[in-house]
Structures are given as structure tokens and as C-alpha cells.
Amino acid sequence: MQVKAYGKINLYLDILDRRADGFNNIETIFQTVNLHDTLTFEVRDRDLTMTCSDPSLENGDSNLVLCAAKLLQDRTGCDKGIHVHLEKRIPVAGGMAGGSVDAAATLRALNKLWNLELDDAALHECAAELGSDVPYCLIGGTVAATGRGEILEPINPLPETWFVLVQPPLGISAGEVYNHSALTRNEEKSINERTPSFTRALELLHEGRIADVMFNQMESAILTMHPELAELKTHMLNMGCAAAIVSGSGPTLVGFCENEPATEQVSGSLSEAPVRVVNSTVQSIMVD
């Protein structure tokens, strides 16, 4: 079985209080884009193995793909194995949930290949154990998320929307960002389980005002740590992006453009880092 696993961006990301379990409560709007990894699955005996086109990516037991497979074995008692080849296109550690969507694709694929017949609730439970972004990656599209990112509410999908992705060669630790002194948190009181800011962002999205929605609370720390990202963001705005933010914990920058010609103008002006032009999609996992 061959599966395409599509990356995500955060159109909106707000950081609330720190939870007793050490995670942070967030409010976010996830959006899938048409940049994907490809995973090829071959059923084997009980062993779990993988290869990857990116030699920098760990292929051992700590890789989320193999973690997902091992979790399914443990939960179901399945005695089958798998070999996975991962063709990597989503930037590694780029704030686009590349590892998470690969894990989600593995859950979906092995549920079929191993004839496990787990329902969506059981898969969601497994996904939440693997990581905060994995439950979203099981479904994809345009989704409002709360909690630590695992409480999901699909919302009206975007019309075809264009983005410019720029990935500077930086390594940014999400833990370091969350603990940085420059990180501020939204202290608004929630009404009906949402802060007023999040409610307003969802209203703006419904009105089609994407540029006004785009926001990342983590930028206060990320741009302090890496002022070169602030310069790059300013350049993208000056060249034609209607809005630009860091995706997740970075370092990928996401520029929203009103149309495809604007993306070409912005992408053509960038030469110092890998640049991709992508558009919104409605699902994160596609079986060929």
C-alpha cells in the first residue's frame, strides 16, 4: 500500500495556560496543504523496519512511524510486521507536523493492512498517545483545535488558498520556545470553552478574511531568538504577502497570498532558503 501524507500549517495559534501534565493548552486553526510525504508499506513477519530517503532522519525505534506500528501491535496483539519506506518531502522539524502525519498515515494504513478493524475513536486514542498533532493528522482539512491540540472541530473548508512556505536552515526546539521569557500567553477567560480572541478568529475565517486570522503567539519568543526570521517575514510582506507568520514552533514561515500570481512574485524574490508554493487541501491522508 502506498499512502500520501500531507503537511499542515497553523493559520492561528494561541498559547493559554500550562497544564498539570506539562503540556500547554492551546487554541489553533489547522490547515492541510498539498506538500506531502509518501509512505510505502509492505507486510512482513512480526519485525518492524523502515528506510527513508532523508539520511538525516532517525529510522530507529524513536521514529514516530515505527512508534505508531509498535503501539498498534501492543494494543491489538497483532503478530504481523511491516516494512515502511518513507519518501520525505515535508521539512523535518519545520513546524508542519511531518512526523505526526507520517504516524497518522501509519495508523490508517496498518489498520487496513493488518485487518485490525479499529474504529475512529480507537485510532484517535492511539494518535493522542503518539503526539499532540497526530489526532488532527488523522483527518486533516480546516479544523479548530483546543486542549493540547487533540480536541478537534472540523469547520468549513477554505476555498483554494495559496501560501508561500520558506524554511530557513534553523533548528528550533519547541520546548525552548515554550520556556522562553519572551513568550506571552493569552489570559482571557473562556466563554463556552473558547476565548473571545479565538471566537473572533473563527468568525473572521468564516467571513473569508484569512489575512486577518493569521496569528502565532509563539512568534514573540521565536523572533526574539532568531531576528533573521523577522527580517525574512518583513521581506515577504513587502513583496506581496497579505500576511505572514511562523508555522507552529517554526522555523517554517507561511505567507498568505491573495492569488497565485502574488505567490510567484514572492517566491521569486526569495533565494536564500528553500521555497515552496502550496495550496490548501481538504484531507491529510490519501491512499493511492
* Mean pLDDT confidence for 154-164: 93
Asked whether residue 287 is assigned to any structural domain, the reply reads: no
pLDDT category of residue 271 using cuts at 50, 70 and 90: confident
Residues 210 and 262 in one domain: yes
Number of folded domains in the chain?
2
- Return the percentage of the chain with pLDDT > 70, whole number: 100
CA distances from 168 to 7, 151, 165, 172, 199 (A): 17, 31, 10, 11, 32
Residues 7 and 142 in one domain: yes
Name the residue among 70, 84, 204, 181 with its Cα closest to residue 130.
Answer: 70
> What's the whole-model pTM score?
0.93
117 burial via Cβ count (<10 Å: 0-12, 13-18, 19+)? exposed
Residues 219 and 138 in one domain: no
Residues of the domain holding 14: 2-152
Residues 125 and 165 in one domain: no
- Give the domain-ending residue among 121, 152, 183: 152
Asked whether residue 288 is assigned to any structural domain, the reply reads: no
* Mean pLDDT confidence for 65-75: 97
Residues 6 and 147 in one domain: yes
CA distance 221 to 249: 10
Residues 148 and 29 in one domain: yes
Asked whether residue 286 is assigned to any structural domain, the reply reads: no
pLDDT category of residue 250 using cuts at 50, 70 and 90: confident
Highest mean pLDDT among 166-175, 259-268, 269-278: 259-268
Residues 129 and 241 in one domain: no
* Mean pLDDT of the chain, nearest integer: 93
Question: SS3 letters for 237-256?
Answer: HHHCCCEEEECCCCCCEEEE
pLDDT category of residue 42 using cuts at 50, 70 and 90: very high
Residues 63 and 169 in one domain: no
Which element (helix H / strand E) includes 105?
A: helix 98-113
27-38 pLDDT, tens per residue?
999 999 999 999
Please give the pLDDT value at position 135: 95
120-150 pLDDT, tens per residue?
999 999 999 999 899 999 999 999 999 989 9
CA distance 88 to 55: 10
Give me the amino acid identity at 67.
C
| Cβ–Cβ under 8 Å, residues 72 and 39 | no
Asked whether residue 285 is assigned to any structural domain, the reply reads: no
Grouping H, G, I as helix, E, B as strand and the rest as coil, residue 277 is strand
Grid coordinates of 101: 502525519
Residues 175 and 89 in one domain: no
Axis-axis angle for helices 64-76, 120-130 (nearest 10): 130
pLDDT category of residue 53 using cuts at 50, 70 and 90: very high
* Mean pLDDT confidence for 60-76: 94
Please check the confidence at residue 73 and state whether its pLDDT lies above 80.
yes
Grid coordinates of 255: 505567507
Residues 138 and 259 in one domain: no
Please give the pLDDT value at position 170: 83
pLDDT category of residue 84 using cuts at 50, 70 and 90: very high
Residues 209 and 237 in one domain: yes
Please check the confidence at residue 273 and state whether its pLDDT lies above 80.
no
- Give the domain-ending residue among 90, 125, 152: 152
Residues 145 and 238 in one domain: no
91-130 pLDDT, tens per residue?
887 889 999 999 999 999 999 999 999 999 999 999 999 9
- Give the domain-ending residue among 105, 124, 152: 152
CA distance 250 to 93: 8
| 5, 214, 230, 260: CA torsion to nearest 10 | 70
Residues 6+ apart with CB under 8 A from 18: 24, 25
Please give the pLDDT value at position 27: 97
Residues noted as catalytic: 8, 133
Asked whether residue 212 is assigned to any structural domain, the reply reads: yes
CA distance 78 to 44: 12
More confident residue, 176 or 124: 124
* Mean pLDDT confidence for 220-239: 93
* Mean pLDDT confidence for 244-273: 90
